[in-house]
């Protein structure tokens, strides 16, 4: 028997333990081991029933995701279906004992058992759609038979897990076991040992009528098309569940297998699997080992109670960390606190938080007007207006007010962390923590490493990001760091396109169809066009003369059109901030372009996407080569979590790999010829394209060299 599976007997009940750390994925050897264990318990006359339980922190997190890459690059295909039938056909009842998670293939395994018991804190789910695939081991066939079509469709297409309590109410879990799961499962197995063992695949009573199912499936397809726009797997999952409602089990499994394979070999799935591992990869910093000591962050403070500061204070409070919120005067502080209260009230209204939770969080936020209590905090995040002089004053104050060992972080989105750190006597304690707006919602946290930031401070911020519910990505200290540095060329091209004759809506529409959450011009209106305008003014002296710069947004700002907050920007907005095209804008831009001598032409959606997306990629390649991002995948994770880039394209760098770097490079060269120096190809892009390599391969080479 495989050493991943162990069988022990507790008198007449066999205990089959899956022990494949860290998450008992159904990798090579596991299925074979379970198969042999089932044979063994059926051979042993002393055994009346069996339980299957996971060693360590979880039951089974699913199929081994690493295996999928091997399958799509020509490796052997493993199917779990025969094993699941083998378990279900066991003459002796098999009870699945679930703690932690039974996800994907883990839940499919559990449904092949005759009974399921679980710890109350366990979760079950079919999250495969998050990887661009669908359940591939009869999950779409057994789940509707156990819990009904509506909930099965929701779980298979939506991918969200359900709690063991909910699963028990749905009939998926037969008993919740408080306390010792193993002992409870063994006792349960004894209770059912002499009863006929039910098989999920033979059940039909929850499958519903044709008319009921038609309505459920139509509505599920509408929800998936809207909420998971552009993703193919949810629709495939719904098709597979539909097969369960119309076909015998075996035929339904064949439909599922065909859809599973189509999804697995799709670019979407490859991209989403890249994202899955990428989200975990970014936590690994080559020169900061896992053992690096981290500092406790039990009390925090935020300086500046504006939109960002207030949002950051909420992030700490939501994680249970008491936080001081400082501003310069009573009026600013009152306004900040009232915004926080309003945000929380909205969350209660939308059902995201309970009133009790919110009341507790508000208790954790203490508004203050001075630095007196700052000596007690472990970490401060500065979130005052973007201006070097002001930031340096604040950091000099913090240096005086905070105890030695406290972390001094800046939420700057563009300014140099090293220069900010120079205002203190302890640059090793200074770091950037760049939250994205709205800070309490957006998952991304760029952690900006200053020249002197200590390893402990970096390790602490990386670990803290998890506690705060964020995904922390370490970046270097260059202008705009990684995300905004790339966003500059992206938005520059969007403006250039309008100045060359593309419609505002056409530009946004092309990028929304590409999969982005919002178009670049609408994003500008949302963030406030004046933000970029002010930054451009601050940095104008650094621009090389004679290089084309976009002007339309500056002109809009000069007219007081800052976007949503002034009701006009690229679009006009009603009182509910709903946009409509501005009928006067095209003529206005045409006049400005005529003055600047920019000829007007018809521009295709394809050119819009290539110009904007390849501008991201080209800048990303520079950042990578200059070492401001550790890996291409770090850039991808930043773009997916901070900029609404579609996850099913894997991020800008992965997308470029998928298109083919040679093709991307050729297009960049074309734009270089047409539009000049701003499009000079990044040397790394050129090198990889010429040697037939990808950014992903570049990452691997870097890792091997580290
Ligand atoms: C599937 O099942 C298809 C089926 O229908 C069958 C078809 C035939 N495989 O997340 P963590 C690694 S598809 C391989 O940091 P947590 C992970 O990379 C699968 N590796 O821990 C990490 O490695 P490292 C459907 C996996 O406690 C380490 O385990 N299932 C897998 O925060 C720890 O992971 C899913 O989509 C895996 N399946 O969260 C569930 N899972 O330390 C995916 C994890 O080297 N997994 N790893 O970076 C999860 O959702 C979370 O990992 C879980 C634990 C909630 C379980």
Active site (annotated) includes residue 40: no
Which residue, judged by its Cα, is nearest atom 40 of ligand 1?
Answer: 61
Tally Cβ neighbours within 10 Å of residue 405. 12
Average pLDDT, the chain: 96
R_g over Cα of the chain:
28
Going from the Cα of 23 to the center of ligand 1, the distance in angstroms, rounded, reads 7
Report the nearest-CA residue for atom 9 of ligand 1.
Answer: 64
Summarize the confidence of residues 161-180 as an average pLDDT: 98
- The mean per-residue pLDDT over the stretch 581-587 comes to 95
Structure tokens at 92: 């002796």
Task: Please tell me the distance from the alpha carbon of residue 400 to that of residue 392, in angstroms, as a whole number.
Answer: 13
pLDDT band at 288 (very low <50, low <70, confident <90, very high): very high
What stretches of 119-170 show up as alpha helix (H) in DSSP? 139-147, 149-158, 164-170
pLDDT at 1 over 60: no
The DSSP symbol for 285 reads B
Cβ contacts of 224 within 8 Å, gap of 6 or more: 157, 158, 231, 234, 235, 238
> Which of 128, 256, 553, 619 is the catalytic position?
128
Q: What is the pLDDT of residues 367-414, one digit of tens each?
A: 999 999 999 999 999 999 988 999 999 999 999 999 999 999 999 998
Query: Residues 32, 40, 67, 108: which is the catalytic one?
Result: 108
Task: Give the pLDDT confidence score for residue 541 in this predicted structure.
Answer: 80
Asked if residue 186 lies in contact with residue 13, where contact means CB atoms within 8 angstroms, the answer is: yes
Q: For residues 658-680, give the mean pLDDT.
A: 97
Q: DSSP secondary structure string, 214-275?
A: HHHHHHHHHHHHHHTTT-SHHHHHHHHHHHHHHS-HHHHHHHHHHHHHHHHTSHHHHHHHHH
Do residues 616 and 491 lie in contact, with contact meaning Cβ atoms separated by under 8 Å? no
Q: How far is CA 684 from the centre of its chain?
A: 27
User: 571 phi and psi, to 5 degrees?
Assistant: -120, 170
| Ligand 1 atom at shortest distance from the alpha carbon of 65 | 9
Q: Is the pLDDT of residue 182 over 70?
A: yes
Cβ-contact 525, 583 below 8 angstroms:
no
Question: Is 430's pLDDT higher than 60?
Answer: yes
* In 440-565, alpha helices (H): 455-467, 483-499, 504-514, 520-527, 529-539, 552-558
Find the 278 Cα to ligand 1 centroid distance in Å. 12
Q: How far apart are CA 408 and CA 342, in angstroms?
A: 28
Q: Strand pairing of 300-303 and 323-326?
A: parallel
**Ligand 1 atom 47: residue of nearest CA:** 23
Distance CA 103, CA 598 (A): 56
Query: Would you place residue 78 in the very low, low, confident or very high pLDDT band (cuts 50, 70, 90)?
Result: confident
pLDDT at 511: 98
Closest atom of ligand 1 relative to the 134 alpha carbon: 5
Residue 616 has a pLDDT of 98
**pLDDT digits over 496-549, tens only?**
999 999 999 999 999 999 999 999 999 999 989 998 888 788 777 877 888 899
Ligand 1 binding pocket mutation candidate from 4, 21, 22 (most atoms within 8 A of CB): 22
Q: Is 54 in the pocket of ligand 1 (CB under 6 A)?
A: no
Nearest to 459 by CA among 407, 499, 412, 422: 407
Kindly state if the Cβ of 137 falls inside 6 Å of ligand 1: yes
Measure the N-to-C terminal CA separation of the chain; round to a whole number of Å: 38
Report DSSP state, residue 175.
E
31-66 pLDDT tens trace = 999 999 999 999 999 999 999 999 999 999 999 999
Test site for ligand 1: of 65, 98, 258, most ligand atoms within 8 A of the Cβ = 65
- Does ligand 1 come within 6 angstroms of the Cβ of 305? no
Q: Which of 62, 107, 263, 647 to mutate to test the pocket of ligand 1 (most atoms within 8 A of CB)?
A: 62
Residue 57 pLDDT = 96
Q: Whose CA is nearest to atom 45 of ligand 1?
A: 280
Is the CB of 127 within 6 Å of ligand 1?
Answer: yes
| Residue 212 vs residues 150, 155, 218, 219: alpha-carbon distances, Å | 9, 18, 10, 11
128 lines ligand 1 (CB under 6 A): yes
Supply the angle between the helices 605-626 and 652-659 in degrees, to the nearest 10: 110
Residue 597 pLDDT grade (very low, low, confident, very high; cuts 50, 70, 90)? very high
How far is the CA of 38 from the CAs of 20, 56, 60, 92, 574, in angstroms? 18, 21, 17, 9, 66
Q: Which CA distances in Å does 345 have to 188, 301, 405, 689?
A: 45, 23, 36, 52
The C-alpha atoms of residue 502 and residue 608 are separated, in whole angstroms, by: 8
Most informative mutation of 18, 59, 61 for ligand 1 (most atoms within 8 A of CB): 61
The count of other CB atoms within 10 Å of the CB of residue 459 is: 19
C-beta of residue 92 within 8 angstroms of C-beta of residue 45? no
The pLDDT tens digits for 308-353 are: 999 999 999 999 999 999 999 999 999 999 999 999 999 999 999 9
Which residue CA neighbors atom 41 of ligand 1 most closely?
61
Q: Is the pLDDT of residue 134 over 70?
A: yes
Residue 438 preceded by cis peptide, ω within 30: yes
Confidence grade of residue 2 (pLDDT, cut at 50, 70, 90): low
Catalytic: 499?
Answer: no
Buried b (16+ CB within 10 A) or exposed e, 352-361: ebeeeebeeb
Beta-carbon contacts of residue 298 (< 8 Å; ≥ 6 apart): 321, 322, 378
Burial of 323 from C-beta contacts in 10 A (0-12 / 13-18 / 19+): buried
Q: Is 278 in the pocket of ligand 1 (CB under 6 A)?
A: no
Most distant CA pair in the chain: distance in Å? 93
The verdict on the CB of residue 157 being under 6 Å from ligand 1 is: no
User: Counting atoms of ligand 1 from 1, which one is nearest the CA of 276?
Assistant: 18
Cis omega (within 30 of 0) for bond into 22: yes
Residue 415 vs residues 402, 419, 445, 539, 541: alpha-carbon distances, Å:
22, 8, 16, 11, 15
CA geometry: angle 622, 280, 692, nearest 5 deg: 40
- What does the alpha-carbon distance between residue 242 and residue 575 come to, in Å, rounded to a whole number? 43
Distance 24 CA to ligand 1 centre (A): 9
Reference 47, options 95, 100, 118; nearest CA is 95
Helix (H, G, I), strand (E, B) or coil at 277: helix
Structure tokens at 687: 């090198």
pLDDT of 544 reads: 81
The percent of residues above 70 in pLDDT, for the chain, comes to 100
Atom of ligand 1 nearest to the CA of 130: 36
Residue 691 — pLDDT band, cuts 50, 70, 90? very high
DSSP annotation of 561:
-
Other CB atoms within a 10 A radius of the CB of residue 306 amount to 15
* Cβ-proximal residues to 166 (8 Å cutoff; 6+ apart), any chain: none
CA distance 370 to 475: 32
Cβ–ligand 1 distance for 63 under 6 Å, the answer: yes
- From the CB of 84, is ligand 1 less than 6 Å away? no
In angstroms, rounded to a whole number, what is the distance separating the alpha carbons of residues 382 and 300? 11
Specify the residue for token string 């372009």. Answer: 593
**Residue 652's pLDDT is what?**
98
Question: Is there an atom of ligand 1 within 6 Å of 66 CB?
Answer: yes
**Whats the size of the chain, residue-wise?**
706
Nearest to 111 by CA among 149, 142, 80, 151: 142
Cα of 56 vs centre of ligand 1, distance in Å, is 14
């Amino acid at each position: 028997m495989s050493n991943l599976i162990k069988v022990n007997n507790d008198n007449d009940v066999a205990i089959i333990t899956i022990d494949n750390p860290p998450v008992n994925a159904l990798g090579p050897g596991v299925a074979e081991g379970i198969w042999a264990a089932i044979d063994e318990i059926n051979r042993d006359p002393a055994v009346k029933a069996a339980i299957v339980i996971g060693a360590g922190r979880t039951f089974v997190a699913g199929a081994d995701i690493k295996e999928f890459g091997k399958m799509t690059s020509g490796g052997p295909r493993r199917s779990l279906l025969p094993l699941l039938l083998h378990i279900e056909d066991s003459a002796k009842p098999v009870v699945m004992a679930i703690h932690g998670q039974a996800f994907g293939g883990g839940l499919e395994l559990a449904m092949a058992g005759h009974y399921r018991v679980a710890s109350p804190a366990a979760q079950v789910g079919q999250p495969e759609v998050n990887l661009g695939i669908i359940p591939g081991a009869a999950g779409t066939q057994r789940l509707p038979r156990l819990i009904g079509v509506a909930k099965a469709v929701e779980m298979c297409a939506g991918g969200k897990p359900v709690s063991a309590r909910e699963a028990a109410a749905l009939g998926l879990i037969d008993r919740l076991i408080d306390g010792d799961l193993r002992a409870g499962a063994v006792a349960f197995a004894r209770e059912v040992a002499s009863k006929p063992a039910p098989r999920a695949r033979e059940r039909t009573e929850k499958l519903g009528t044709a008319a009921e199912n038609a309505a459920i499936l139509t509505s599920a397809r509408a929800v998936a098309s809207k909420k998971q726009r552009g993703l193919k797997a949810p629709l495939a999952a719904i098709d597979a569940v539909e097969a369960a409602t119309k076909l015998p089990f075996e035929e339904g499994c064949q439909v599922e297998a065909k859809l599973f394979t189509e999804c697995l070999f799709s670019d979407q799935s490859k991209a989403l699997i890249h994202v899955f591992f990428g989200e975990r990869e970014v936590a690994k910093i080559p020169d900061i080992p896992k053992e690096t000591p981290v500092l406790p962050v039990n009390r925090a403070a935020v300086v500046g109670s504006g939109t960002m500061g207030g949002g950051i204070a909420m992030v700490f409070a939501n994680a249970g960390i008491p936080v001081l919120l400082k501003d310069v005067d009573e009026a600013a502080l009152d306004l900040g606190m009232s915004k926080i209260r309003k945000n929380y009230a909205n969350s209660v209204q939308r059902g995201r938080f309970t009133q009790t939770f919110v009341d507790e969080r508000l208790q954790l936020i203490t508004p203050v007007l001075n630095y007196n209590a700052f000596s007690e905090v472990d970490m401060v995040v500065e979130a005052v207006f973007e201006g070097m002089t002001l930031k340096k004053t604040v950091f000099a104050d913090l240096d005086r007010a905070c105890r030695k060992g406290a972390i001094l972080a800046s939420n700057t989105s563009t300014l140099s962390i090293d220069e900010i750190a120079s205002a203190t006597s302890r640059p090793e304690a200074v770091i950037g923590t760049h939250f994205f707006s709205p800070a309490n919602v957006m998952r991304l946290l760029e952690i900006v490493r200053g020249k002197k930031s200590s390893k402990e401070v970096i390790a602490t911020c990386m670990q803290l990001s998890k506690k705060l519910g964020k995904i922390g990505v370490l970046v270097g200290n260059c202008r705009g760091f990684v995300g905004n540095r790339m966003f500059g060329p992206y938005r520059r091209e969007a403006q250039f396109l309008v100045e060359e004759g593309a419609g505002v809506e056409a530009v946004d529409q092309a990028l929304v169809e590409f999969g982005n959450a919002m178009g670049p011009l609408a994003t500008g209106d949302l963030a406030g066009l004046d933000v970029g305008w002010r930054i451009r003014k601050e940095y104008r002296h650094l621009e090389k003369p004679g290089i084309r710069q976009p002007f339309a947004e500056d002109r809009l700002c000069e007219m007081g059109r800052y976007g949503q907050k002034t009701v006009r920007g690229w679009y006009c907005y009603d009182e509910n901030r709903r946009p409509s095209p501005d009928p006067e804008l095209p003529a206005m831009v045409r006049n400005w372009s005529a003055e600047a001598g920019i000829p007007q032409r018809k521009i295709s959606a394809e050119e819009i996407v290539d110009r904007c997306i390849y501008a991201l990629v080209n800048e990303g390649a520079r950042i990578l080569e200059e070492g401001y991002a550790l890996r291409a995948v770090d850039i991808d994770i930043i773009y997916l979590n901070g900029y609404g880039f579609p996850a099913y394209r894997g991020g800008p760098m992965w997308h470029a790999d998928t298109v083919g770097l040679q093709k991307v490079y050729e297009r960049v060269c074309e734009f270089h010829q047409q539009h000049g120096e701003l499009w000079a190809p990044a040397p790394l892009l050129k090198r990889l394209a010429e040697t037939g390599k990808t950014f992903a391969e570049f990452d691997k080479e870097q890792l091997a060299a580290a």
